[in-house]
Structure 1
Amino acid sequence: MLVVAALTFDIWWQVLAPSAAFLLLHAVEGNFLTPAIIGRRLTLNPIFVFATVLFWGWLWGVPGALLAVPILAVFKILCDATPQLRTIGALIGDSFPGPACIFPPTRTACIGSAPVTYLRPRN
């Protein structure tokens, strides 16, 4: 980008302006917008994040460590979308309801704002 700007403009500040604008917009988006939007909807338990980074880093090295959190986030989204796996999704998330809320007498539990029905273990 800097080379194209240097070939297009003659004044030094016009050469640096496109790169500076890109860096500014990228910094605002990466540090403020995306975490604010994603953070409200997707919360992950820090212990699971740490364990996931350790596991995928051990398995695949640096690429695995970089992909660990997105893999965990996708797994949590899939668990939240599947009724039988919502307990695992709540455990991976930062809002696990606890054992008293998993198997209440009414066989429903609340995760977030939607009631979720769980199967009672057989005696």
Structure 2
Amino acid sequence: MLECLIFYYQIVVEYYRKDWRLMVRIHQRVHERHPELDDGDVEAAWESYCFAAVRIPGEREMRTGYDLHGRYIEMVGVLLADGAWLVYHAMTPPSKKTLREIENARRRGY
């Protein structure tokens, strides 16, 4: 019984990972401007973000989060028609302007 449960868990986790990776796309510009960030870093930070500020509801968000190496990253993404997020800006560390915008959004309750 335990072996069946573990096998089922592995299938569900693999499906979830494959499905989730389709939900985040990283624009090539991010790598050109910030070669220290790779797709995995940006995806991890986007998926497990700490704070977010909605710029255009349902369309554009700014998020900050930590990548797998513990770096604090600022990211801006737009929601595409197919339901995936396109992250077109990412940098580390976040700028003071970004942190201020996110703090203002948190105070407003967004």
Q: TM-score range by the shorter chain?
A: 0.3 to 0.5
Higher relative contact order (Cα pairs below 8 Å, separated by 6+ residues): 2
Mark the structure with the bigger radius of gyration.
1
Name the one with the larger helix percent.
1
Q: Which structure shows the higher strand fraction?
A: 2
- TM-score, L = length of structure 2: 0.33
